[in-house]
C-alpha cells in the first residue's frame, strides 16, 4: 500500500466544539470505557460458552463485536439515523463519541459513509481501522489509500479533511491514548497479526 500524502499543519479545534488537550497524557485521566452493547454481547457469548461446554460461544474479549451481515445492518441503520437527526441520535455510540466518515470507493468512485468512534488527539481527530480484529483492513481504510480527501460529519457539522495513517513517530502515543479510553481496541489487536492502523483526520483549509 502506498504512503498517504504528507500531513497538513496541525489544527486547533474550536473550544466550543472540542475539548482541548494540554498534552499527550491527558487522555489517561479519562476512565476506560467499553460500550454497553459490547459488554452485553460478551456476557451472552461467555454464557453460551459455559452452558455448551465450550462448543459454542467464546470467552475471547475481542470476539464480542458484531461482524458480517449484522455489522453491515448496524452500519446502515446508524448512518441513516445519524444523518436524519444531525447527530442528535448516533453521535454517542455506547459512550464513545462517533462521527460519520465519507470516503471515495477505490473501485467504484462512489461515496461510502461509515460511522466510527473518534478520539481527539493533538494531531487531529483519530479513527481506528480495527475491523473488529479481522485479518484484513476495512474497506474504508483501503479507500483512503487511493483517495485521502474525505468528508467528516461531527454532530450537525460537515467539513472536508485529509486522512493519513499515524506516522511511526505518532502512532505509539496515539495508540496508547486510544486504548486507555477504549480498551476494546487492544482486544481487537490481540486477535490479528496485522498492526491496526490509526488514521488522523486533519481539517482541510478549504472546502
pLDDT tens, residue order, the chain (207 aa) = 444 444 433 333 333 333 334 333 434 344 555 554 444 444 454 555 466 665 544 444 444 555 567 767 877 888 999 999 999 988 887 788 999 999 999 999 999 999 999 999 998 999 999 998 889 999 999 999 899 999 999 999 999 999 999 999 999 999 999 999 998 899 899 989 999 999 999 998 654
Quick one: 53 exposed, middle or buried, by C-beta within 10 A (0-12, 13-18, 19+)?
exposed
Structural domains in the chain, sorted by start: 73-203 (2.30.110.10)
Q: Which of 132, 138, 117 is nearest to 201 (CA)?
A: 117
Which residues are 161's β-sheet partners? 150, 203
* 91 CB neighbour count, 10 Å cutoff: 19
Cβ atoms of 200 and 125 closer than 8 Å? yes
pLDDT digits (tens, 9 = 90+) for 50-87: 666 655 444 444 445 555 677 678 778 889 999 999 99
Instruction: Report the greatest alpha carbon distance in the chain.
Output: 58
Contact 45, 51 (CB under 8 A): no
pLDDT of residue 101: 97
| pTM score of the predicted model | 0.70
What is the pLDDT at residue 93?
A: 75
Asked if residue 113 lies in contact with residue 82, where contact means CB atoms within 8 angstroms, the answer is no
Residues linked to residue 126 through DSSP beta bridges, in sequence order: 119, 200
Q: Please provide the distance, in angstroms rounded to a whole number, between the alpha carbons at the two ends of the chain.
A: 27
User: What pLDDT does residue 100 have?
Assistant: 97
- pLDDT score, position 15: 33
Query: What count of other Cβ atoms lies within 10 Å of the Cβ of residue 32?
Result: 12
Amino acid at each position: 500500500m502506498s504512503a498517504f500524502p504528507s500531513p497538513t499543519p496541525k489544527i486547533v479545534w474550536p473550544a466550543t466544539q472540542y475539548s482541548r488537550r494540554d498534552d499527550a497524557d491527558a487522555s489517561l485521566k479519562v476512565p476506560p470505557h467499553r460500550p454497553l452493547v459490547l459488554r452485553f454481547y460478551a456476557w451472552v457469548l461467555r454464557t453460551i460458552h459455559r452452558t455448551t461446554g465450550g462448543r459454542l460461544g467464546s470467552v475471547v474479549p475481542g470476539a464480542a463485536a458484531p461482524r458480517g451481515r449484522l455489522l453491515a445492518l448496524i452500519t446502515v441503520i446508524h448512518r441513516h439515523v445519524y444523518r436524519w437527526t444531525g447527530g442528535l441520535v448516533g453521535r454517542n455510540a455506547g459512550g464513545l463519541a462517533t462521527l460519520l466518515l465519507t470516503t471515495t470507493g477505490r473501485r467504484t468512485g462512489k461515496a461510502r459513509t461509515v460511522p466510527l468512534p473518534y478520539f481527539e488527539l493533538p494531531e487531529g481527530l483519530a479513527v481506528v481501522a480495527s475491523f473488529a480484529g479481522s485479518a484484513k483492513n476495512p474497506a474504508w481504510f483501503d479507500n483512503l489509500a487511493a483517495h485521502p480527501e474525505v468528508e467528516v460529519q461531527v454532530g450537525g457539522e460537515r467539513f472536508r479533511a485529509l486522512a493519513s495513517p499515524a506516522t511511526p513517530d505518532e502512532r505509539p502515543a496515539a495508540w496508547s491514548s486510544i486504548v486507555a479510553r477504549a480498551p476494546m481496541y487492544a482486544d481487537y489487536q490481540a486477535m490479528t497479526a496485522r498492526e491496526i492502523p490509526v488514521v488522523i483526520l486533519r481539517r482541510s483549509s478549504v472546502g
